[in-house]
Amino acid sequence: MSAGFRAVQWNRAKLVYDGILLAGVVLYIGAYLTLVYWLDPPKDQLAAIDLRIRAFGTCAFFMLTVILSIGPLTRLDRRFLPLLYNRRHFGVLTFFVVLLHASFMVEWYALQNALPSLYDELTKVSDYGKFIGFPFKALGLVALLILFLMAATSHDYWLVFLTPPVWKGLHMALYVAYGLVVMHVALGVMQYDHNPFIPAMLAGGFACVTVLQLGAARAGSRSDRRSRFRTRAPASSRRRMANASLSSATARRSGRFRIFAPTSMGRSAKGASSTAA
């Protein structure tokens, strides 16, 4: 059997969902750039590119946090299910935001004719044994590769072609990408920029995902216990019915013996009386 390709079947719900996603991304990036330009305008073109790098990078982090929160939210409250149905669109848009973040970084190096230094930074093997000074850009590139694979296989064709277990295993790598992004920020910009917004963003996002996952796991365990109890209840009922049937049968047998016993005893008494006579 072969998997057939079918174009995305757009409907009103998907169009509304994607429109809200695009509007949210545009509003966040626009608000971020406007606020920073107003508070601390960039002094040159390099600073302006660096500002775009941060705007798209923080936006991508928040988007990944929301994507990982959708699953546990739907297990806690079914009203969040509409977010789950089109979550793949969310992931594809997140990939493009991360791609723009990486492209601005390459532009920042290219504007200074420093692309060879970027290559040296990524290929210097000795730095990979450090904690402070680790080539954090490599972590971001690996996360970008994972997001690319997930975006490229987001269509139902790949779900059928790869089989559901393989497809799900591939898309579970989103947790790996999220961890890489957290380390990318912690070992990168947070080392030289002491703005409290950055650690608060990382801690808040990580805590949100962790709390929701633990809450959903706890709710799932309670649901499993209730379902196991419901499946055990009929069996116990059947056992009670069987015991009741057995008791009634025993009672009938014992009652039959009690009925016949006086008759035989009466006959014996009559025989005894006639003999005596």
Neighbouring residues of 50: CB distance < 8 A, sequence distance ≥ 6: 42, 108
- Give the span between the Cα atoms of 134 and 171, in whole angstroms: 27
pLDDT of the residue at 263: 41
Positions of the chain with pLDDT under 70: 1-10, 222-277
- Do 203 and 185 form a contact (C-beta atoms < 8 A)? no
pLDDT of the residue at 111: 92
pTM score? 0.75
DSSP conformation letters of 206-260: HHHHHHHHHHHHHHHHHHHHHHHHHHHHHHHHHHHHHHHHHHHHHHHHHHHHHHH
pLDDT of the residue at 37: 92
pLDDT of the residue at 51: 94
pLDDT of the residue at 7: 54
- The residue count of the chain comes to 277
Neighbouring residues of 68: CB distance < 8 A, sequence distance ≥ 6: 174, 175, 178, 209
pLDDT of the residue at 82: 79
pLDDT of the residue at 216: 86
pLDDT of the residue at 271: 44
pLDDT of the residue at 262: 44
In the structure encoding, which two tokens stand for residue 113, read together?
Answer: 């004719």
pLDDT of the residue at 11: 74
pLDDT of the residue at 56: 96
73 in the Ramachandran plot: left (φ > 0), alpha (ψ -120 to 50) or beta?
alpha
Amino acid at 87: R
pLDDT of the residue at 79: 85
- What is the separation of C-alpha 53 from the centre of its chain, rounded to a whole number of angstroms? 27
- Do 58 and 100 form a contact (C-beta atoms < 8 A)? no
